[in-house]
Structure 1
Amino acid sequence: MTETLTSPTTGKTLVRAGVRATTLTRFDEAKPIPVQREFIEVVVFDSRLLSRGSQWGHAAIEIDGTVYSRAPILFFKGGYRKYLIGNTRRWRTKPDGTIGKGVYRDAVGLLMWVSLREKALIRDELERRVAVNAKYSLFDNSCSSNVADVLELAGIMARDPRAFGELTPVMPAELLGVLKKSNRLVETRNYKKGWEGGASANW
């Protein structure tokens, strides 16, 4: 039997032509937002008194397997896995095949979600900074300030808002503390001394 309804304003008889479900969930449930998510990782290392600029720790950022890190000598760009191994092991294999001394320290990786556009924005800015290779400065061109700068280009808070903006140096510990509270954080990974690499069981 055809269902009918009388219009309360015109008095006309309305006939149901069809039923369409506009959402897959109930009206009182949260609706999913289908946005493509990409992922980047910010890694923060322990302090090391013997390394120039690392007395307060160190920070780097990884995008699609490539790590970017401002060091006192240059703006480093390279493979992420080898970079982690070189920083967490006592000994490492250098690019020429010889055995060299590793940095041997713990690290925390923060996996963050970004949009495709945000990831491209961050990568392009990092590539620009690598090419320019501006002089290192503990105050405004350090490892952690570079990470904070590019994250904030994508709208991700990466420094204490109570500080005096760029007049206050960004320390790795501050970067870690702020990002741990971010709604962009997906996973925290612990890279201990002697990290083997590869399997998530080693995080």
Structure 2
Amino acid sequence: MELVATKKLTPSTDKSVKTVTVQREYVEVIVSDSRIISKGSQWGHTAIFVNGKVYSRAHELYFTTSYDDYVKRNSYRDSIGLKLWVTPKERETIQKELDRRVAINEPYSLFSNSCSSNVADVLELVGILAHDPRWIPFPVPPAELLAVVGKSKRMVERIPHPKGG
């Protein structure tokens, strides 16, 4: 790599470290363990919490609900939340795309329209890696999403949602 140009931004001799602040918002990716008796949940389930709504691609439909309702509905299995920081613009992009997907409610597909592929797609729209790039990008199982997003520099907290809790 080669230096192309330099530009002096502060016309002084002050060499102290300057703080640059970036407004942050948060989304939470919720990954749940598998459930053999539930159609499509043999590999687990994934949803995403954005700006007050949980978006969840179920087998029959794509729906939204409140955070408390979602956690309560899924209290029969263990889940883990991965809280990620995003900029307000990234959060808006994610939310608009999720709202669009809920509105059109295309048929479920294990390869292109599953719970975890939808979450991976919207995260990758804003530059957050959500699948292992060493493999084909589909299907994205919940375990892969958990592993990859769990290593993101955007992750600020792991939130346990224990069974029965």
Query: Normalized against structure 2, the TM-score is what?
Result: 0.89
CA distance in 2, matches of 1:21, 1:144: 52
CA distance in 2, matches of 1:170, 1:32: 38
Q: How big is the alpha-carbon RMSD for the aligned residues of Structure 1 and Structure 2?
A: 1.6
CA distance in 2, matches of 1:47, 1:65: 25
Paired residue for 2:30? 43
Matched, 1:74 2:61: yes
Structure of higher CA gyration radius: 1
Count, aligned residues? 155
Paired residue for 2:19? 32
CA distance in 2, matches of 1:169, 1:163: 10
The one-letter code matched in structure 1 to 2:128 is I
Paired residue for 1:108? 80
Any stretches of 5+ residues in structure 1 without a counterpart? 1-19, 89-103, 196-203
What SS is found at the alignment partner of 1:126?
helix
Structure number with greater CO (CA < 8 Å, separation at least 6) is 2
Paired residue for 2:110? 138
Instruction: Point out 4+ residue stretches in structure 1 off by more than 6 angstroms.
Output: none
Identify the match of residue 129 of structure 1 among 64, 83, 101: 101
Identity %: 55
Query: Normalized against structure 1, the TM-score is what?
Result: 0.73
What SS is found at the alignment partner of 2:74?
helix
Paired residue for 1:184? 154
CA distance in 2, matches of 1:187, 1:84: 17
Structure 2 counterparts to residues 152-167 of structure 1, below 5 A: 152-165=124-137
- Pairwise CA distance, 1:86: 1.0
